[in-house]
Structure 1
């Protein structure tokens, strides 16, 4: 028996590379300008985030998408100001993550890496669309993941036959 000096066996090191990132789809509508509305606006911004991850055909490669919908309404009167829809994708090479931890890794760690680029795009698009640049607050991807797990558990519980 080999003596390893009492050290615990080491887990394989996690390797993660961002292979590519890109905008799959994007739409921006300046509703305020289309209506020809003028005057004082007091924006109320609502941000919705959805995440998706899937295995690619190449070994150890995954695709992670952040789907963002940003709407802005005028606090005075509730008129729509703008709508931004963005599907931002990252392609990752990942090795060494245990199978039972892969799903949360893909939906927490990968979006964390993509977020600064997504934030810059949103800022640029809103500014170029005729509004002050919108700098998104940090998104807690861990909490987003936990909320989705809780939502799924509630749905499964509601659909389970009563005994």
Structure 2
């Protein structure tokens, strides 16, 4: 093994991440089957899950709030009737230190939501079960892919805006 020049390797900054609070900011569940008295018959549910995120700096130093927004729609494949609609806004407050400013945006929109996702999954499962449907265990969200899609969408929108203003 070759010896270096004796200088200690530069240590990466230590990241401190603490979940200060988690909360349901808003939630609704509409059971269309019960409301409209839809006939039973052959039901083949088609589940659509839409996810969006918001993040913002809070007044306290090193504190950030991240909101996960989920919209879950279940429709009957046979006739397109909506079976249920669930909307959930789940927030968390994080204390974060040691993340470079240039990396804070992806950190907030990838790592932070990933930490609280298991709690969101449980809430969605419990609410769908309590709403009279089989518990819905949603697939893990790929927050990195979601982040990349949003960056690409913003770049396209910016390009389109530049073309319009030329």
Give the shorter-chain TM-score range: over 0.9
Using structure 1 for the length normalisation, give the TM-score. 0.95
Partner of residue 84 from structure 1, selected from 68, 83, 86: 86
Q: Deviations over 1:68-109 (max 9, x none)?
A: 000010001000000000000010000000000000000000
CA distance in 1, matches of 2:142, 2:8: 35
TM superposition shift of 1:10: 1.5
Q: What is aligned with 2:152?
A: 150
Q: What is aligned with 1:12?
A: 13
Aligned pair count?
160
Partner of residue 73 from structure 1, selected from 60, 63, 75: 75
Question: Match of 2:28, SS?
Answer: strand
TM superposition shift of 1:32: 1.1
TM superposition shift of 1:7: 2.2
Question: Structure 2: which 5+ runs fail to align?
Answer: none
Q: Deviations over 1:133-160 (max 9, x none)?
A: 0000011000000000000000000010
Structure 1 moving runs of 4+ over 4 Å: none
TM superposition shift of 1:38: 2.5
Q: What is aligned with 1:100?
A: 102
Q: Deviations over 1:42-66 (max 9, x none)?
A: 1000000000100000000000000
Question: Structure 1: which 5+ runs fail to align?
Answer: none
CA distance in 1, matches of 2:6, 2:16: 26
CA distance in 2, matches of 1:112, 1:81: 28
